[in-house]
Structure 1
Amino acid sequence: MGSLLSKTKSPKPTTTPESKPSNMSFTHFSNAQSSFKPPLIANENAYLGDIATSEPNDPTSPISAGFYRLEKGTPLVYEYTYHEMKIIVDGEFDISDESGQKVHAVKGDVFYFPKGSKITFTTETFGLGFFVGQRKEGAA
């Protein structure tokens, strides 16, 4: 996320037996939602890790994707330095911004966070989101 740096190894992607490794092959991250454990990035309860990036194929306008997990505890206030989309895949978040907008987010909710937005994430239990951000890998 924005000013927090995440250095983590991505899970090992797989390709289909018929495909040949190349920049144009798709990659598959089997069971990533439950098997990938993002590293701690802030406070005692905020975890984030990239699992995929388009950077090798498009270094000028890369997108990176991964998981963000927040446990009950300290709220995370984050200022986006890039555009991001997030879908809540498990648990719940309370998400608010500087304009006063507040949402109790649950599984299936989708968000767009524009570059420059300052977002506060909290949870009474835990929340897990899958994100795609317009940034280089590890630049969160």
Structure 2
Amino acid sequence: MSAPVAFRYSAQAQSNYKPPLIANDNAFLGDVFTSEAENPEKPMCAGFYRLEKGTPLVYTYTYDEMKIILEGEFEIADTTGQKVTAKPGDVFYFPKGATITFTTPSYGLGWFTGQRKEGGA
């Protein structure tokens, strides 16, 4: 019989966690949790992505990711011509290889889960 495994918890993370700047002067992303220690062959990461008004972020995914919009608004477009105005409660799947452009008229905050190692975005 294997030993019990504890869950992890981040209290009020949507309000308290501030993701670090990752691109331009307005794109922030931070991993809150990773499964890398428990599952190094198929790790997952989850955290927050925040974009503020300014430079669009163009990102090509090297892993699969899912995202739910929590606050604000995003304009999300891909290279196929698909474009969506994303609002709180909207859920997205970005497959490996997709190139996505994120913009916002003010700001947007999303929660993501990606099949990658910590810091691999």
Which TM class, normalised by the smaller chain length? over 0.9
Counterpart residue identity of residue 50, structure 1: D
Deviations 1:88-136 (A, max 9, x none): 0100000000000000000000000000000000000000000000000
Which stretches in structure 2 are left out of the alignment for 5+ residues?
none
- Alpha carbon RMSD of aligned pairs, Å? 1.0
CA distance 1:54–1:23, shift in 2 (3 Å): farther
Counterpart residue identity of residue 14, structure 2: Q
| Match among 39, 64, 68 for residue 87 of structure 1 | 68
| Match among 31, 41, 66 for residue 22 of structure 2 | 41
Which stretches in structure 1 are left out of the alignment for 5+ residues?
1-21
Offset of residue 27 of structure 1:
0.9
CA distance in 2, matches of 1:24, 1:63: 17
2:47 alignment counterpart? 66
Matched residue SS, 1:59: coil
Counterpart residue identity of residue 41, structure 2: T
Matched residue SS, 1:34: helix
Structure 1 position 118 matched with structure 2 position 102: no
Offset of residue 23 of structure 1:
7.3
CA distance 1:123–1:138, shift in 2 (3 Å): same
Instruction: Report if the CA contact (8 A) 1:95-1:104 is conserved.
Output: yes
CA distance in 2, matches of 1:110, 1:37: 21
Specify which structure has the higher proportion of strand: 2
Matched residue SS, 2:120: coil
Aligned length: 119
Q: Which runs of 4+ in 1 moved over 2 A?
A: none
1:96 alignment counterpart? 77
CA distance in 2, matches of 1:111, 1:27: 24
